[in-house]
């Protein structure tokens, strides 16, 4: 013994003797502290001496029940064991057997002794340190001879991890279990393999005896819903795949070098025998451990364990999902043959996690799958591929059921699975995906699953709602909405699911079987389902898809019977009588039909129009898209479906154009007019879809925007519009295109537009074309709007009468001053008197001079009116007739056309006033419905602004009394209607707002007298009440504020009377020229408390 060891021994001897005599807390702690300071080599030399007192007390029966002392001794023992290597089997067994009474009690649940958690934690750490510190030979001997003892400790460890609550104790128990099975991190390499082959053999032998119990407990630990955090779950999964892949590794399977005749005989006997072939039904004693039959049985049993872990693929913590991916990866690569029943399960998990939101998890799984299916020998994965195809079919078949669930995460997992299977089957080409789809009904199942996933909500009223007719014509930009409002999915309730569905379609489009899938989808598309259109769009527009797919889709979409689906409810129009058309015998546009005459010139087709007489009625054309009667929709639901489908078709054209780019050029002439029709549609959704598609087409053709695209093809478009206007069935299309072209053009095409508008005016005279009246009015409004834009014509809004804030006292003083001056002038003689003769001679002279004088000037002819003015006048003369249309939208639009057109004529009074006069009677007759009344009010204000007192008398007599009456009667209906009231959504409420908003400007422009102002204020004052809706109060305050600026005295007197108070208003003392009296009553304090706040606000606002 060297000097250093002697010194250490001298130092440790009294400590060991003291602890041996009295194992108090202080003695044990002092011992542990000194040992902790010693060098490991020195402790190794003295480990038997140091362990003796600890083991003696630990195994002593006198220590039983002394929990605190036991814990102190165990902690000290741990300090020693962490510094030494145990090379003596007896010492190891003494420690192990000494721990059993401390932690084991067969009478309790899980056979865990009833001791504090701290003691169990110390015991787990000590046992772990022991098993990590024993020599290799001792470990092998223990695994060979002490399997029952080790199994008992392992059993207690896993049940502590399963049943206890303390997180650190559960983790320590799992670590202890890995140490006792030699799969601890310190005993394995980076690939989780035991470094020594001899140790591995005995470990596998032992684990094969206790495998079911260990894995079932680890499964319960991992799936426990009350796990505190993620660390326990991760540790359980880590231990599970270490145990499984050590025990069930493919390298342990018995290998046969050749196939003998006995093998064939056994196989034939197995097929023909009626004996139960389920190895799991045999008793355990009948199966030799680690034999082929044992591995088969174990593989089937373990598949249940692996399947139970699948829900962890949706665990909220990324480390759990990563550890589950490692488990599945190891089973796939290391236990592929021995655990064949688990291969479909682990493939599902890996495929699902390959789309994980965390990149390192997704990349890991993708890399595992790609390496396995591309780098593995074909003979190794042939069974896996068969299983994969079968699983793919099952997943696709079950996808609709998964999507019907309310759990969004489950839906995403289901879509991720489909995406993963398609991606894996597409690895390396070879037609794997094609084989999977063409066998056992795979193709119909995939198409049905995609169709179900893309199910849309079409039964929404908003889908078929037209934009309100009283909205202003807006500029179309080259930046349409980034979203598609017609896509409201029934099952996909978040963006991640929608994105995954689109990615699935893109994978299908990039596969070898894309044409096969598209053929089946197009066959199904004969039913005209919106969902199929969405799937077809996604496939055709995939970034790496073949251009041929997009071209085939375009050819289908552009078919006339599909593109022009009915978008109106079916209404049977009565036949025109002889009085309603020019010539019944020659002109019946409803009778025109197209006849195809094949065989003219080697297959040429002639289109001719026949049956244009009432004398030879033609049968109605066949139903298109479910249309009946006149070609409309049977129900609003069918109309909504057609509208959504039309939007999808339009969107599809744009997506195909974006994908084809320069290859789309041959389709430009076919699609340009069709897309502009969509842009000009009265349906808001179709308008947005057309705008998006036209923007995509513009970009594909190298244009900066839709305006540039139209400018580049202006000649073609004007020619198409002219031709379409000449054909009765194309009028609506022509009008929609014309409306859009005008929006994007400038004065360069005015000459073309004049001619087209003239044609529209002529056609609008035919009563048959009344069904296209809305489109005609839309063209007129667009034309006038852009005439005003191009020629910078703005509506005059200033009040002609100069007004200022009056001062009542100042007016009185001015009156007194003027009266005095008049009296002075009457007394002053400032005119020279003349005789009667002088006055007669002067008159004769003036008469002679007037006779000699004559006018030699030539009156100049008035300059011709500009062309845009004359066309506007023609439009107004025609549109005035439509102001009284029974259809609300048409009436509102006609009022807007007249209002905008009158502004164009504001500089031409001779032409303006006759049109104002002509519009008065229809205007007076249109006030029936609130929306029409609001548009009529706007027109009335414009007429008052432009014609001033020309309509004053008629307005005061015919219109203003009705406005006052409506405001008075409706004031009681709007009383106490707060923000949540349904009344605020009604047309009556909007009409009240419109009247209060228009009334002050109307009165000021008409320059009405005080009597008329009195009547207006009687109606408007009711809305100063604080019980009226706040917007109406603000409009009423604004009304009185504007009238105050116009006639301060009238408003002051009216409010003074209305307030009805007795407050005295005294005259100023500095006035001496007049004798002024006190005034009883002021307008500043109202006796009606409901009105007082707004009246004070009115005068305060006016002074500011």
364 and 325 Cβ atoms separated by less than 8 Å: yes
Residue 3 lies in a domain: no
Arithmetic mean of pLDDT, 372-389: 77
pLDDT of residue 376: 76
CB atoms within 10 A of CB 540: 27
Q: How confident is the model at residue 1076 (pLDDT cuts 50, 70, 90)?
A: low
pLDDT at 281 over 90: no
Burial of 578 (0-12, 13-18, 19+ CB in 10 A): exposed
Arithmetic mean of pLDDT, 356-361: 89
Q: How confident is the model at residue 26 (pLDDT cuts 50, 70, 90)?
A: confident
pLDDT of residue 260: 60
Residues 6+ apart with CB under 8 A from 1010: 1047, 1050
Burial of 571 (0-12, 13-18, 19+ CB in 10 A): exposed
pLDDT of residue 259: 54
Residue 600 lies in a domain: yes
pLDDT of residue 553: 95
509 and 424 Cβ atoms separated by less than 8 Å: no
Residue 744 lies in a domain: no
Q: Where among 610, 628, 658 does a domain terminate? A: 610
What number of CA atoms fall less than 13 Å from residue 506's CA on the CB side?
Answer: 12
Short-list 1004, 1096, 1100, CA closest to 803: 1004
pLDDT of residue 10: 82
pLDDT at 657 over 90: yes
Identify the weakest region by mean pLDDT among 439-453, 606-620, 971-985: 606-620
Residue 969 lies in a domain: yes
pLDDT at 277 over 50: no
pLDDT of residue 599: 44
Tokens of 125: 């750490």
Could you tell me where the DSSP H helices lie in 798-853? 808-826, 836-852
Q: Could you list the beta-strand ranges (E) of 237-308.
A: none
pLDDT at 607 over 50: no
Q: At what angle do helices 514-524 and 495-510 cross, to 10 degrees?
A: 120
Q: How confident is the model at residue 462 (pLDDT cuts 50, 70, 90)?
A: low
Residue 979 lies in a domain: yes
pLDDT of residue 436: 86
Identify the weakest region by mean pLDDT among 22-31, 395-404, 523-532, 586-595: 586-595
pLDDT of residue 279: 41
Arithmetic mean of pLDDT, 390-395: 88
Give the whole-angstrom CA distance, residue 235 versus residue 175: 8
pLDDT of residue 547: 93
pLDDT at 236 over 90: yes
Short-list 328, 335, 336, 339, CA closest to 364: 328
Distances (CA, A) of 374 to 368, 380, 384, 425: 10, 11, 13, 11
Q: How confident is the model at residue 658 (pLDDT cuts 50, 70, 90)?
A: very high
Tell which wins on pLDDT, 850 or 328: 328
Arithmetic mean of pLDDT, 617-631: 42
Instruction: Give the residue numbers spanning the domain of 599.
Output: 578-610
CA angle 1075, 1076, 1081 (to 5 degrees): 165
Which helix (H) or strand (E) segment holds residue 1093: the answer is helix 1089-1103
pLDDT of residue 519: 94
Residue with tokens 């790496």: 544
Tokens of 496: 């991640």
105 and 113 Cβ atoms separated by less than 8 Å: yes
Give the whole-angstrom CA distance, residue 518 versus residue 442: 14
pTM for the full model?
Answer: 0.66
Residue 312 lies in a domain: no
pLDDT at 504 over 90: yes
Question: Phi and psi of 801, rounded to 5°?
Answer: -80, 125
pLDDT at 498 over 90: yes
pLDDT at 798 over 70: no
Mean pLDDT of the chain: 80
Q: How confident is the model at residue 278 (pLDDT cuts 50, 70, 90)?
A: very low
Which range scores top for mean pLDDT: 614-618, 778-782, 968-972? 968-972
Which range scores top for mean pLDDT: 21-25, 327-331, 426-430? 327-331
Could you tell me where the DSSP H helices lie in 376-486? 378-403, 408-425, 432-438, 442-453
Burial of 628 (0-12, 13-18, 19+ CB in 10 A): middle
Identify the weakest region by mean pLDDT among 115-129, 157-171, 473-487, 534-548: 473-487
Question: Phi and psi of 635, rounded to 5°?
Answer: -150, 165
Residue 892's domain is classified under what CATH number? 1.25.10
Q: Where among 569, 586, 610 does a domain terminate? A: 610
CB atoms within 10 A of CB 409: 13
Q: How confident is the model at residue 1090 (pLDDT cuts 50, 70, 90)?
A: confident
Q: How confident is the model at residue 521 (pLDDT cuts 50, 70, 90)?
A: very high
pLDDT of residue 840: 65
Tell which wins on pLDDT, 387 or 765: 387
Tell which wins on pLDDT, 1094 or 589: 1094
Residues 6+ apart with CB under 8 A from 907: none
Residues 6+ apart with CB under 8 A from 734: 720, 721, 724, 725
Q: How confident is the model at residue 1023 (pLDDT cuts 50, 70, 90)?
A: very high
Residues 6+ apart with CB under 8 A from 125: 78, 172, 176
Q: How confident is the model at residue 600 (pLDDT cuts 50, 70, 90)?
A: very low
Q: How confident is the model at residue 585 (pLDDT cuts 50, 70, 90)?
A: very low
Tens digits of per-residue pLDDT, 1035-1053?
A: 999 999 888 888 888 888 8
Residue 940 lies in a domain: yes
Arithmetic mean of pLDDT, 640-663: 92
pLDDT at 815 over 70: no
Give the whole-angstrom CA distance, residue 119 versus residue 164: 13
Short-list 459, 624, 451, CA closest to 523: 451
Q: How confident is the model at residue 108 (pLDDT cuts 50, 70, 90)?
A: confident
pLDDT at 32 over 50: yes
pLDDT of residue 2: 74
Could you tell me where the DSSP H helices lie in 273-317? 292-308
Give the whole-angstrom CA distance, residue 306 versus residue 292: 21
Beta bridge partners of 86: 134
Tokens of 1052: 């002051």
pLDDT at 715 over 90: no
pLDDT of residue 846: 74
Please tell me the total count of domains within the chain. Answer: 2
Give the whole-angstrom CA distance, residue 779 versus residue 883: 16
pLDDT of residue 267: 59
Which helix (H) or strand (E) segment holds residue 1059: the answer is helix 1048-1059
Short-list 764, 768, 776, CA closest to 579: 768
Distances (CA, A) of 662 to 654, 658, 693, 701, 713: 13, 9, 16, 6, 16
pLDDT of residue 626: 37
pLDDT at 27 over 80: yes
Residue 379 lies in a domain: no
Give the whole-angstrom CA distance, residue 637 versus residue 643: 10
Tell which wins on pLDDT, 747 or 580: 747
366 and 381 Cβ atoms separated by less than 8 Å: no
Q: How confident is the model at residue 837 (pLDDT cuts 50, 70, 90)?
A: low
Measure CA 159 to chain center: 48
Measure CA 698 to chain center: 26
Identify the weakest region by mean pLDDT among 460-464, 702-706, 948-952: 460-464
Short-list 188, 163, 248, 178, CA closest to 214: 178
């Amino acid at each position: 013994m060297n000097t250093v060891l002697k010194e250490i021994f001298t130092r440790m001897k009294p400590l060991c003797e003291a602890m041996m005599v009295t194992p108090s807390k202080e003695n044990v702690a002092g011992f542990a502290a000194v040992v902790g300071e010693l060098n490991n080599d020195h402790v190794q030399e003295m480990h038997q001496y140091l362990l003796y007192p600890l083991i003696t007390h630990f195994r002593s029966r006198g220590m039983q029940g002394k929990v605190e002392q036991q814990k102190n001794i165990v902690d000290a023992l741990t300090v020693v064991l962490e510094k030494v290597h145990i090379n003596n089997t007896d010492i190891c067994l003494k420690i192990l057997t000494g721990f059993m009474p401390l932690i084991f009690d067969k009478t309790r649940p899980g056979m865990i002794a009833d001791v504090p958690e701290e003691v169990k934690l110390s015991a787990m750490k000590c046992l772990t340190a022991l098993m990590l510190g024993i020599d290799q030979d001792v470990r092998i001997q223990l695994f060979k001879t002490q399997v029952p003892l080790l199994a008992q400790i392992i059993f207690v460890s896993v049940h502590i991890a399963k049943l206890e609550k303390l997180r650190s104790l559960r983790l320590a128990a799992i670590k202890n279990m890995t140490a006792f099975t030699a799969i601890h991190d310190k005993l394995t390499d980076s690939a989780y393999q035991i470094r020594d082959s001899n140790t591995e053999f005995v470990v596998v032998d032992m684990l094969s005896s206790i495998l079911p119990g260990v894995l079932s407990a680890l499964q319960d630990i991992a799936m426990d819903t009350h796990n505190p955090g993620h660390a326990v779950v991760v540790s359980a999964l880590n231990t599970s795949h270490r145990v499984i892949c050590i025990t069930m590794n493919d390298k342990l399977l018995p290998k046969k070098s050749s196939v003998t005749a006995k093998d064939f005989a056994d196989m034939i006997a197995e097929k023909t025998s009626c004996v139960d072939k389920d190895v799991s039904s045999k008793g355990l004693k009948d199966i030799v451990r680690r034999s082929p039959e044992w591995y088969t049985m174990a593989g089937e049993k373990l598949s249940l364990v692996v399947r139970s872990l699948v829900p962890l693929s949706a665990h909220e913590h990324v480390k759990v999902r990563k550890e589950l991916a490692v488990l599945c990866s190891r089973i796939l690569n290391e236990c592929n043959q021995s655990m064949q029943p688990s291969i479909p399960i682990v493939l599902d998990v890996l495929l699902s996690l390959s789309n994980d939101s965390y990149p390192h998890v997704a990349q890991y799984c993708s890399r595992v799958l790609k390496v396995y299916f591309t780098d593995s020998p074909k003979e190794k994965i042939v069974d896996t591929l068969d299983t994969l195809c079968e699983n793919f079919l099952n997943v696709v078949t079950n996808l609709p059921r998964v999507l019907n669930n309310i759990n969004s995460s489950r839906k995403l997992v289901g879509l991720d699975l489909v995406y993963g299977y398609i991606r894996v089957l597409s690895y390396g080409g070879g037609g794997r995906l094609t084989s999977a789809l063409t066998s056992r009904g795979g193709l119909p199942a995939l198409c049905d699953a995609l169709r179900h996933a893309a199910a849309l909500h079409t039964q929404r009223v908003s889908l078929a709602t037209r934009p309100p007719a009283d909205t202003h014509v807006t500029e179309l930009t080259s930046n349409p909405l980034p979203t598609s409002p017609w896509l409201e999915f029934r099952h996909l309730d978040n963006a991640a699911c929608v994105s995954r569905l689109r990615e699935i379609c893109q994978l299908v489009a990039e596969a070898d079987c894309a044409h096969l899938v598209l053929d089946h989808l197009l066959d199904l598309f004969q039913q005209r389902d919106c969902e199929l259109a969405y799937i077809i769009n996604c496939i055709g527009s995939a970034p790496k898809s073949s251009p041929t797919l997009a071209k085939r889709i375009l050819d289908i979409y552009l078919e006339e019977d599909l593109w022009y689906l009915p978008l109106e409810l079916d209404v049977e129009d009565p036949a025109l009588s002889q009085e309603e058309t020019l010539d019944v015998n020659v002109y019946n546009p409803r009778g025109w039909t197209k006849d195809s005459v094949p065989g003219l010139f080697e297959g040429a087709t002639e289109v001719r129009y026949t049956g244009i007489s009432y004398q030879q009625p033609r049968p109605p054309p066949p139903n298109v898209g479910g249309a009946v009667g006149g070609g409309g929709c049977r129900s609003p639901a069918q109309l909504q479906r057609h509208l959504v489908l039309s939007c999808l078709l339009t969107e599809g054209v744009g997506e195909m154009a974006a994908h084809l780019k320069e290859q789309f050029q041959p389709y430009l002439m076919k699609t340009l007019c069709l897309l502009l029709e969509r842009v000009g549609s009265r349906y808001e959704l179709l308008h947005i879809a057309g705008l998006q598609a036209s923007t995509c087409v513009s970009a594909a053709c190298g244009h900066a925007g839709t305006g540039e695209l139209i400018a580049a093809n202006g000649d073609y478009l004007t020619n198409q519009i002219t031709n379409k206007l000449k054909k009765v069935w194309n009028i609506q299309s022509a009008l929609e295109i014309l409306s859009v072209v005008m929006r994007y053009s400038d004065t360069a095409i005015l000459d073309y537009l004049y001619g087209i508008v003239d044609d529209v005016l002529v056609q609008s005279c035919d009563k048959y074309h009344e069904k296209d009246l809305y489109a005609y009015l839309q063209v007129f409004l667009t034309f006038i709007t852009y005439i005003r834009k191009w020629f910078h014509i703005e509506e005059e809004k200033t009040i002609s009468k100069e007004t200022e804030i009056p001062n009542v006292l100042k007016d009185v003083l001015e009156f007194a001053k003027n009266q005095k001056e008049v009296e002075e002038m009457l007394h002053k003689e400032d005119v020279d008197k003349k005789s009667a003769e002088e006055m007669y001679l002067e008159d004769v002279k003036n008469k002679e001079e007037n006779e000699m004088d004559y006018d030699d000037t030539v009156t100049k002819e008035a300059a011709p009116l500009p062309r845009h003015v004359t066309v506007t006048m023609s439009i107004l003369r025609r549109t005035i007739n439509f102001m009284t249309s029974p259809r609300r939208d048409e009436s509102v639009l006609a009022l807007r056309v007249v209002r905008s057109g009158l502004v164009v004529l504001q500089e031409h009074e001779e032409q303006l006033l006759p049109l104002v006069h002509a519009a008065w009677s229809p205007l007076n007759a249109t006030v029936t419905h609130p929306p029409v009344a609001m548009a009529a009010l706007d027109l009335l204000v414009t007429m008052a602004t432009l014609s001033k007192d020309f309509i004053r008398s008629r307005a005061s007599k015919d219109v203003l009394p009705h406005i006052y009456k409506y405001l008075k009667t409706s004031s009681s209906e709007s009383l106490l209607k707060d923000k949540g009231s349904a009344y605020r959504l009604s047309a009556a409420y909007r009409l009240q707002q419109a009247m209060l908003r228009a009334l002050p400007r109307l009165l000021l422009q008409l320059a009405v007298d005080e009597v008329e102002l009195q009547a207006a204020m009687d109606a408007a004052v009711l809305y100063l009440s604080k019980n009226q809706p706040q917007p109406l109060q603000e409009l009423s305050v604004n009304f009185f504020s504007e009238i105050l600026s116009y006639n301060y005295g009238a408003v002051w007197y009216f409010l003074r009377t209305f307030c009805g108070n007795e407050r005295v208003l005294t005259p100023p003392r500095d006035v001496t020229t007049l004798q002024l009296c006190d005034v009883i009553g002021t307008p500043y304090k109202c006796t009606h408390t409901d009105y007082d706040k707004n009246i004070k606000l009115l005068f305060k606002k006016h002074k500011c």
